[in-house]
């Protein structure tokens, strides 16, 4: 995730290789950010009411699922 793209209230997903298994792939919302653009930590609030600090490389933007069903193409 790019620090320039991160903003408060943004939905994020914790990377799958994160050291705490219960947070791997978890969805949360950026609540605060600390540091500079070269060394930034993000406080992420999770649905369980707990928050945790993450480095930029530990997060990715959570893409909203499309409301349209996916079309599948079948070739015979």
pLDDT tens string 25-47: 999 999 999 998 888 999 999 99
What was the pLDDT predicted at 75? 60
| 12-39 burial: b if 16+ Cβ within 10 Å, else e | bbbbeebeeeebeebebbbeebeeeeee
Domain boundaries, the chain: 11-61
What was the pLDDT predicted at 74? 60
Tell me which of 63 and 11 has the higher pLDDT. 11
> Residues 46, 59: contact at Cβ < 8 Å?
no
> Residues 28, 43: contact at Cβ < 8 Å?
no
Sheet holding 39-45, edge to edge: 51-55, 39-45, 27-36, 11-14, 59-61
Q: What would the mean pLDDT of 43-72 be, rounded to a whole number?
A: 82
The fold of the 11-61 domain, in CATH, is SH3 type barrels. (2.30.30)
């Amino acid at each position: 995730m790019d620090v320039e793209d991160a903003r408060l209230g943004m939905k994020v997903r914790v990377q799958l290789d994160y050291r705490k298994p219960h947070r791997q792939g978890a969805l949360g919302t950026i609540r605060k950010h600390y540091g500079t653009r070269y060394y930034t930590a993000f406080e992420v609030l999770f649905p369980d009411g707990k928050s945790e600090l993450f480095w930029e490389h530990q997060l990715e933007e959570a893409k909203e699922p499309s409301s349209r069903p996916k079309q599948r193409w079948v070739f015979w």
